[in-house]
Amino acid sequence: MSQQNIPSREVARRVFAGEFNDGSYTFQESDDERAPLYLLLPTGERANRVFLVGTLTEKEDVGEDSEYWRGRIVDPTGTFFVYAGQYQPEAASALRELEPPAYVAVVGKPRTYETDDGSVNVSVRPESITTVDAATRDRWVVETAERTLDRVERFDDEGNEYARMARERYDLPVESYTDAAVSALESLDENDELASGSEEPTPQA
């Protein structure tokens, strides 16, 4: 297959759980039914795919007629929920085999769901789930904090159309994501001090 025929994949955005879960607005940028669906991040960025690393603390098969796995993945700012079933066989298999607690890296697509009371829940439909070590998790925290701070810094730029959208759609203080990023970095120092204790889960081989 020539390079021209290979569809380009959207960049997987690094985002903390706290900000990800505050996102509720999704949109497409064309009327084409195959156009990518984006989640609007409150710091003013669009995300068709996300990249997250955290601790898998729980997993459960919530399917009725077939396997449908739900995983709970925690980072320093909150919790991601991932759901994988027959259409995500590799991710579903990974969740089936993993034993919490385990450090995992996930690439997937944001999905929103409106509850009966009108609120919007956000989850991740994983493309891949892989086990990683503590150093990889720490590196993700640092890089995600940097990306978050960059987005906040650009939030008031006149040419930032996604920041304008975020201001219109969300009534959220963007400074809170700066605080969350700083706290996430500080949590790494605390983990270093506790490394000899039982606070850190043992990564799975």
**For the chain, which residues make up each domain, given as ranges?**
3-193
* 96 — pLDDT class (breaks 50, 70, 90): very high
What is the model's pLDDT at position 195? Answer: 46
Task: Look at residue 102 and tell me whether its pLDDT is greater than 50.
Answer: yes
Average pLDDT value over all residues in the chain: 90
Average pLDDT, integer, range 1-18: 74
What is the model's pLDDT at position 8? Answer: 65
Q: How crowded is residue 104: how many other Cβ atoms within 10 Å of its Cβ?
A: 27
Average pLDDT, integer, range 36-60: 97
Using a cut of 0.75, tell me whether the model's pTM lies above it.
yes
Reported CATH class of domain 3-193: mainly beta
* 65 — pLDDT class (breaks 50, 70, 90): confident
Task: Look at residue 204 and tell me whether its pLDDT is greater than 70.
Answer: no
More confident residue, 70 or 8: 70
What pLDDT, in 10s, does the model give residues 163-203?
A: 999 999 998 999 999 999 999 999 998 765 444 444 444 44
Average pLDDT, integer, range 146-174: 96
Place of tokens 């085999």: 97
Percent of the chain whose predicted confidence (pLDDT) is above 70: 89
More confident residue, 5 or 133: 133
The set of long-range contacts for 170-177, using a CB threshold of 8 Å and a minimum separation of 24, is 170/22, 170/24, 170/25, 170/40, 170/42, 172/22, 172/42, 174/42, 174/43, 174/44, 177/16, 177/18, 177/19, 177/42, 177/43, 177/148, 177/151, 177/152
